[in-house]
Structures are given as C-alpha cells and as structure tokens.
Amino acid sequence: MSHFTNMKTRFQNLFYLEKALNRLNITHNKQKKIQNNSNLIIPQANGHNIEFSWNGQEYELIVDMSYWLQDYPIETFLDKIAQQYAGEVIIGESKKLGFQPIKYQQNQDGSNTLVIERWNEKS
C-alpha cells in the first residue's frame, strides 16, 4: 500500500531547482503539465519516482517513503538541494545586478563559499 508524503519546500523557481539538481548530479526529467507548469521527476530504480510538483506557490516534494532509494535520508536530501538552490538563486539574481561569480567552492564541512564581484564603472 502506498503512502505518499508531500513535503513543502521553498523552491519557487524551476530554473534554479534544475540547476541545483544538476550541480548535485541528480538525474531528473521535466514533465510538462497542462497549465504551463512543469514538474521534475527523479527516477528511482524501483519505479517509485520522486517528484517535485508545482502546487501554485512552490515545488513540493512528493514521494512514497516506503520506496525511498536515495543514499541519505529525505531530510538530508532536501537540505543538500536547498543549499545548492540558494547558491544558484544568489548567482542568478546577482548576475542580473551586474555581479559576476568569481569562486564557488564546496568546503569539507559541507558549506559552500561563493564570491561575487562587480566593478564600479562610474569611477
């Protein structure tokens, strides 16, 4: 018997969510929905896939916990994605303001270091 779990997230931008999954080397596919929204599907070997589904406000994680096959618990899985998502949002939005990423590094303690710069063209 399946027991799907819907977990709320703060992921509101599909582009940045995809970039975060790519950075973590998590294979995923886009599934186009009728209302101009796409869901992201993370295939699992057992056929019980993980899904990020748009609920009108954010991409919530939908998964049957009985069939979880990832290397780490769901909380850790979401934390890793959230950390990369935040970095992608910072990079993407700062580029819109004229900043350029200089350094993006994952540290041994699991944190990330991001350095961005922007030159003042008026001086």
pLDDT band at 123 (very low <50, low <70, confident <90, very high): low
pLDDT band at 22 (very low <50, low <70, confident <90, very high): very high
Domain boundaries defined on the chain: 4-98
- Percent of the chain surpassing pLDDT 90: 64
Report in angstroms the alpha-carbon separations of 67 from 20, 44, 50, 71: 23, 9, 10, 12
Residue 121 tokens, joined: 């063209």
The CA radius of gyration of the chain, in Å to the nearest whole number, is: 17
At 68-122, the pLDDT tens digits run 999 999 999 999 999 999 999 999 999 999 999 898 888 899 888 989 998 877 7
